[in-house]
Chains A and B, each alone.
Chain A
Amino acid sequence: MSDRLGWLRGIGKALIVTVVGVVFLFPLYWIVTMAFKPQEEWQPIDGVHWVPDDWTLENFKKIFGRATDTGFFEAAPTDATNAIVNSIVAATGGTILAMLVGTLTAYGIARYKAGGGFLPFQILQLRMFPPVAIVIPLLIMYAYLELVDTYWGLILIYGAVTFPFVVWLMRSFFQEVPREIAEAAIVDGCSQWGALFKAVLPQVRGGLAATALFVFILNWSDFLLALVLTSEQVETAPVFLNGLQSAGAGQEYGPQAALGLVLIIPPAILGLAIQRYLVRGLTFGAVKR
Chain B
Amino acid sequence: MAEGPLSTPSEAAGRQAPRRSLLARWGRSEGAVAQTLITPGQLLLLFVILFPAIVAIYISFTGWTPQSGDPWYEAYRSWLWFDNYWEALSGNAFWAAVWRTIVVTVVAVTAEFLIGFGLALLLLKQFRGRGLLVVVFLLPMMVVPAVAGFIFYMLFQGDGPVNAALTWLLPGEVNIGWLTDPDIALFSVIIVDIWQWTPLMFLILLSGLVALPEDQMNAARILGAGWRHQFVHLVLPMMKPIILIALIIRAMETLKLFDAAWLMTQGGPGDATATMSVYLYRETFIGTRWGYSSAVAILVLIMVSMLAMRAIRPIEAAAEERVDDLVVAEERAEVSLEEAIEAEARAR
Contact = CB atoms under 8 A, between A and B. Distances in A.
Q: Do A and B come from one complex?
A: yes
A250 interface: no
A21 B208 contact: no
Interface residues of A, number: 97
Given A109-B38, A136-B56, A275-B138, A128 B147 contact: no
A75 interface: no
A130 B256 contact: yes
A144 B72 CA distance: 10
Contacts of A224: 258-259, 262, 277, 281
A7 interface: no
Interface stretch (A59-67, A117-125, A198-206): A117-125
A41 to B, nearest CB: 12
Contacts of B242: 283, 286-287
Contacts of B59: 136-137, 140
Contacts of B35: 108, 114
Nearest to B299: A133
A192 B33 contact: yes
A189 B12 CA distance: 12
Contacts of A114: 34-35, 37-38
A268 B140 CA distance: 9
Nearest to A260: B147
Nearest to A163: B44
Given A48-B164, A125-B308, A133-B301, A245 B211 contact: no
A253 B154 contact: yes
Contacts of B298: 133
B203 A192 contact: no
Nearest to A48: B164
Contacts of A256: 150
Contacts of A129: 49, 256, 301, 304
B69 to A, nearest CB: 14
B325 to A, nearest CB: 10
A289 interface: yes
Interface string A117-159: 0010110111111111111111011001000000000001101
Given A27-B155, A124-B312, A129-B301, A141 B55 contact: yes
**Dominant secondary structure at the A interface:** helix
Interface in B112-166: 115, 118-119, 122-123, 133, 135-148, 150-155, 157, 159-161, 164
Contacts of B47: 156, 160
B272 interface: no
A272 B139 CA distance: 8
Interface stretch (B22-30, B82-90, B339-347): B22-30
A113 to B, nearest CB: 8
A285 interface: yes
Interface in B304-338: 304-305, 307-309, 311-312, 315-316, 318-319, 321-322
Given A30-B151, A130-B258, A130-B277, A157 B207 contact: no
A167 B45 CA distance: 12
Contacts of B311: 128
A130 B280 contact: yes
Contacts of A157: 48
B245 interface: yes
Interface string A68-84: 00000000000000000
Contacts of A109: 38
Contact of B37 (A107, A194, A221): A107
Contacts of A191: 24, 27-28
Given A17-B122, A30-B151, A136 B143 contact: no
A224 B260 CA distance: 10
A72 to B, nearest CB: 22
A110 B27 CA distance: 18
A21 B321 contact: no
A112 B298 CA distance: 34
Contacts of A127: 252
A264 interface: yes
A128 B252 contact: yes
A126 B144 contact: no
B171 interface: no
A260 B150 contact: yes
Contacts of A16: 118, 122
Nearest to A118: B312
Nearest to B300: A133
Nearest to A262: B147
A279 B134 CA distance: 14
Contacts of B322: 284-286
B40 interface: yes
A88 interface: no
A128 to B, nearest CB: 5
Contact of B276 (A20, A104, A130): A130
A113 B211 CA distance: 29
B97 to A, nearest CB: 12
A136 B142 contact: no
A212 interface: no
Given A109-B38, A275-B203, A238 B137 contact: no
Interface in A161-184: 161, 163, 167
14 contacts: A16-B122, A102-B41, A121-B316, A125-B305, A126-B45, A136-B290, A137-B294, A167-B41, A189-B9, A191-B24, A193-B33, A264-B144, A279-B203, A284-B319
Given A16-B118, A27-B140, A192-B30, 12 more contacts: A26-B161, A27-B151, A43-B157, A132-B280, A133-B297, A133-B300, A160-B47, A192-B29, A245-B263, A268-B143, A271-B138, A283-B207
* 3 smallest beta-carbon distances between A and B, as pairs: A108-B37, A191-B27, A112-B34
